Amino acid sequence: MSDAAATGSAGDLGRRAMPAVLGLGSFIVFLLVVEILIRVGLINRYIVPLPSQIAGAFERIIVEEDIIGRFQLTFSEALRAGVMITVVGILAGIFLYRFDLWRRATETWIAALASAPTVLMYPLFLVIFGRSAWTIIMMGFVAGLPPVILKTIEGLAGTRRVLINVGRSFNLTPTQQFTKILLPAALPTIFVGIRLGLIFTLINVVGIEYLINFGGLGQLITDLAERYDQPALYATICFVIAVSVCFFIITEWIERWLTPVE
């Protein structure tokens, strides 16, 4: 009986792991096919480097190009912009929640700003802040701010009436009502806004680093492209993608942890 159960659970595990194996397996097969096509000369190796060369370039970008130091630089820029969007966004959201007239007057403008291609203003920011880290940080700030404001308003406005009434029945002061009832109830939604804001911030920070050839990972991509070091260029792009994916997975995990179970 226990053998049957063990066999059943192993089969169940196999069925559940099958899609992940399929996904990873097809990626490996794709890399092998590209490797073969390059080796037989069907793909120009000066345009697309061998996947084995790209794998070998990882050590080089870590040792010679100081990718960890550059990652720390990009991370510190994204972190500074992230702290700014969190502080300013939440305060602005609280202000707009408290003053309904201001909210009704400006909420559509903030939503329009969220969908506007603000990243195209980077030449303007270059003029104002110069070719410095502040241009990158401020671009990240402008891009990431609207979702934090909008989600803070949504979270505070969406607090269940019964929770507010409980606070009133305990004769809580407005400050206590805010810190003990409104803020904890709105926290999961606010974090959704912070997560979205951080994603926009990270995209803009790396993008602007590449465009103005300044800073960490983005600048390394420009450097390697100008040096025509194709394997290292592809390896760096893979590294940036890996960093982005890790970042999204971690923030998603925190978001799920904060969201109350229904």
Give the binding site for other proteins (CB under 8 A). Answer: 18-20, 22-23, 26-27, 47-48, 101-102, 104-106, 112, 115-117, 119-124, 126-128, 199, 202-204, 206-207, 210-211, 218, 221-222, 224-225, 230, 233-234, 237, 240-241, 244-245, 248-249
* Rounded Cα–Cα distance for residues 91 and 97 (Å): 10
Longest dimension (CA), the chain: 79
Q: Smallest distance, Å, CB 184 to other proteins? A: 28
Tell me how far apart the alpha carbons of residues 18 and 35 are, in angstroms, rounded to a whole number: 25
Q: How far is the CB of 28 from other proteins (least distance, A)?
A: 13
At 234, the amino acid letter reads Y
Question: Which of 245, 231, 174 lies closest to 53 in space, CA to CA?
Answer: 231
Nearer to other proteins, 51 or 167 (CB): 51
Closer residue to other proteins (CB): 186 or 232: 232
Nearer to other proteins, 17 or 83 (CB): 17
Nearer to other proteins by Cβ, of 125 and 178: the residue is 125
Sign of CA dihedral 81, 82, 87, 93: positive
CB 115 within 8 A of CB 212: no
CB of 171 to other proteins, least distance (A): 32
